[in-house]
Amino acid sequence: MLKKLTPAKSLAKLPRQQILDKLLRELTEREKLLKTVKPLLPQDVRDHCSQASIKNKCLLLFADSPVWAAKLRLCTQELPHVMGQRGFVLKKCQVRVSPPLLSVRSSTQGPPQGQRNAARISAATAAHLEQAAQSMPDTRLAACFQRIANHQRRTLETGSSSGAGMVTNADGISTSPEEEIPDSK
- Helix then strand then coil, % of the chain, to nearest 5: 45, 10, 45
Q: Could you tell me if residue 114 is inside a domain?
A: no
Q: Pick from 125, 36, 146: which is nearest to 87 by CA?
A: 36
* Whether 45 and 93 share a structural domain: yes
pLDDT level of residue 163 (50, 70, 90 thresholds): very low
User: What is the rounded CA–CA span in Å between residue 139 and residue 181?
Assistant: 8
pLDDT tens-digit profile of 45-89?
999 999 999 989 999 999 989 999 999 999 888 899 899 898 989
**Percent of the chain at pLDDT above 90?**
27
- Residue 10 above 60 pLDDT? yes
Q: Which structural domain range is residue 29 located in?
A: 8-97
| Number of domains within the chain | 2
Rounded to the nearest integer, the mean pLDDT of the chain is 76
pLDDT-derived band at 167 (thresholds 50, 70, 90) equals: very low
Task: Supply the pLDDT for residue 126.
Answer: 84
The residue ranking higher by pLDDT, 153 or 22, is 22
Decide if pLDDT at 172 tops 80: no
75 and 34 housed in the same domain: yes
Span 102-121, pLDDT tens digits: 544 444 555 555 555 556 77
Residue 184 lies in a domain: no
Residue 87 sits in the same domain as residue 158: no
Question: Which 3 state secondary structure label does DSSP give 179?
Answer: coil
User: Are 93 and 127 contained in the same domain?
Assistant: no
Determine, yes or no, domain membership for 149. Answer: yes
Angle at 88 between CA 59 and CA 38, to 5 degrees: 55
Q: Which of 36, 63, 39 is nearest to 49 (CA)?
A: 63
Taking CA atoms, 112 is separated from 20, 109, 115, 118, 169, in Å, by: 31, 8, 6, 12, 27
28 & 93 share domain: yes
Assign residue 67 the CATH number of its domain. Answer: 3.30.300
User: What is the reported pLDDT for 164?
Assistant: 46
